[in-house]
Amino acid sequence: MSAGKPRSDPSSIRCAMRSLTASIQRHIAWIATGGTIAGAGTGTVYAAGTYDAETLLARLGLVPPLPLRPSEPYRIDSKDATPAHWRQLRDALQMALAAPDCAGAVISHGTDTLEETAAVLALTLPAPVPVVLTGAMHPADDPHADGPANLVAAFDLIARNALPAGVWLAFAGRVFAALGVRKVHTTALAAFADPTLDGEKAKILSAMAPPLLPFPDPWPEVALLPCTAWDDPNTLSAARARGAAAAVLLAPGNGSLPDVWHKAIRDAVHAGLCVVRASRCGWGAVTPHPLDEALGTVPAGKLSAAQARVAAAIVIAATNDPSRRRTLWQHVLS
Ligand code: ASP
């Protein structure tokens, strides 16, 4: 789905902000969390999460101010995000969305772990209005900063009432449903994609909301393990011994499990571990396989390994019942 052409020059951004200001009656909650979009420096040498929300607003030259309610629960480089940050963010959002005249929320965020945050919110945040995540690939000081255009596009989606309620990611002129999106490029401006769904189809399917599950407390450990024939299957029992409640296997191809791993996987599942087959391919969904029945694994479906890891933690914390977990997993993937 297109969010319209990104506008990156300062005067067109200011112009877009002014027309937004005129068009919106209710306010937009803006939750700033740092990232490159708030980074000081240029090119690839910069410090993410330097500028606070007010400084960023001033840089956008908002006159008169858009009805924004900014808040900043934390300001970090998102490579350092932990479940404690996700909890803080979810709490801040719940508070912001509780205001009766809130049209929606925009979250500015680092791109490195944007997909994890998107999955956490999609699965645990009651969102009666649209919640749009965005970020930037160039820092705020860079002459080619893409953050202002991404931010304005996110505000614009809410001001125009262009999205159904739920969690979305707007980036480089495109909009993605939260579950299934992933960062697919290390440096390009169009760094995000949904390799399994795209465009309008994503919009329609996202209307089928995923189940809302409790935010895990405590957050269970989920191991992410490389799983090819020359990786050691003992890493799975080691993860179990360390207390992991689930493991996401980063396997080749369509989540293909090497023969030498089968016994270790069967034993782990037998011991109560939830074992997810994810793919190290950047593109495509991991589809069900007869081995899932034989070994007790579940496919990652449209989820990247990073999102599968978050989803597994949330699902296993929601229930101890293996068949209920399977049902929940199916819902998450649907
Ligand atoms: N390391 C940065 C972050 O995730 C990268 C970015 O925002 O693009 O915060």
pLDDT tens track for 1-19: 545 444 456 666 766 666 6
Question: Given this model, what pLDDT does residue 42 score?
Answer: 87
Interval 193-198 mean pLDDT: 72
The CATH homologous superfamily of the domain defined by 25-208: L-asparaginase, N-terminal domain (3.40.50.1170)
Interval 73-102 mean pLDDT: 97
Distance 36 CA to ligand 1 centre (A): 5
Q: Which fold has domain 222-333?
A: Rossmann fold (3.40.50)
Q: Please indicate whether residue 139, judged by its CB atom, sits closer than 6 Å to ligand 1.
A: no
Q: Please indicate whether residue 35, judged by its CB atom, sits closer than 6 Å to ligand 1.
A: yes
Beta-sheet pairing, 102-108 with 130-134? parallel
CA distance 287 to 301: 6
The 10s digit of each residue's pLDDT in 10-56 is 666 766 666 666 667 799 999 999 999 999 998 888 999 999 988 88
Question: Given this model, what pLDDT does residue 6 score?
Answer: 45
Among 306, 318, 296, residue whose Cα is nearest residue 220? 318
Question: Given this model, what pLDDT does residue 5 score?
Answer: 45
Question: Given this model, what pLDDT does residue 204 score?
Answer: 46
Beta-sheet pairing, 182-183 with 192-193? antiparallel
Among 174, 202, 203, 206, residue whose Cα is nearest residue 188? 174
Q: Do domains 25-208 and 222-333 have the same CATH topology?
A: yes
Q: Is the pLDDT of residue 320 over 90?
A: yes
Active site residue 36: yes
Domain residue limits, the chain: 25-208, 222-333
CA distance 138 to 145: 5
Q: Please indicate whether residue 48, judged by its CB atom, sits closer than 6 Å to ligand 1.
A: yes
Catalytic residue among 36, 117, 124, 297: 36
At position 247, the amino acid (one-letter code) is: A
Distance 264 CA to ligand 1 centre (A): 36
Using the atom order of ligand 1, give the atom closest to the CA of residue 136: 8
Q: Please indicate whether residue 79, judged by its CB atom, sits closer than 6 Å to ligand 1.
A: yes
Distance 49 CA to ligand 1 centre (A): 8
Distance 334 CA to ligand 1 centre (A): 29
Beta-sheet pairing, 40-42 with 246-251? unpaired
**Cβ neighbour number for residue 287 with a 10 Å cutoff:** 13
- pTM equals 0.91
Using alpha carbons, list the distances in angstroms from residue 220 to 37, 235, 319.
Answer: 30, 18, 12
